[in-house]
Amino acid sequence: MNDEHRPAVTPDSPIGPDVDLDAEDVRLADGTRLTEQRAAEIVDEVRRRGGRPSLTGEAAPSPRIVFRVTPAVRDRAAEIAAREGKTISQLAREALEARVATEPHAT
């Protein structure tokens, strides 16, 4: 990538500038060297996975439910989730699962 198309890297950028992995010695957590080829393989693996693991444990996406709440509810949920070491999604999932578990199945 030439410099005119390279994104600006600032001190608060989440990533640094491009690195020539075949020229520089960058190591993975297990100590193996990260090469351009291995980086491409890792990217392909992540793209094939398609995001987070399924909640069912199977190789299928988990259904999503999206809903809106007031800012006050969102802020309070964030406080509770942080206190419990959870995400807001985990907190909401637990609440919905508990409510659904108490409802009899329709026949």
Q: Are residues 69 and 46 in the same domain?
A: no
41 and 73, same domain (yes or no): no
Domains in the chain, number? 2
Mean pLDDT of the chain: 81
**What's the pLDDT score for residue 12?**
61
> Which residue, of 55, 76, 99, is where some domain finishes?
55
For residue 79, being part of any structural domain is answered with yes
Banded model confidence at residue 99, pLDDT cuts 50, 70, 90: very high
- Residues 22-71 have pLDDT tens digits of 888 988 888 889 888 888 888 888 777 666 677 777 767 778 888 899 99
Note the pLDDT of residue 42.
Answer: 85
Residue 40 backbone dihedrals phi, psi, to 5 degrees: -65, -40
Q: Of 25, 44, 49, whose CA–CA distance to 35 is shortest?
A: 25
Residue 91 tokens read as 């907190």
Confidence of residue 1 (pLDDT cuts 50, 70, 90): very low
- 45 with 25, same domain: the answer is yes
Most confident of the ranges 15-19, 20-24, 48-52, 70-74: 70-74
Asked if residue 5 is part of any domain, the answer here is no
- Cβ-based neighbour number of residue 79 at 10 Å: 10
Examine residue 3 and state whether it is found in any structural domain, yes or no.
no
Which domain, by its residues, includes 69?
A: 65-107
Evaluate whether residue 39 is within a structural domain. Answer: yes
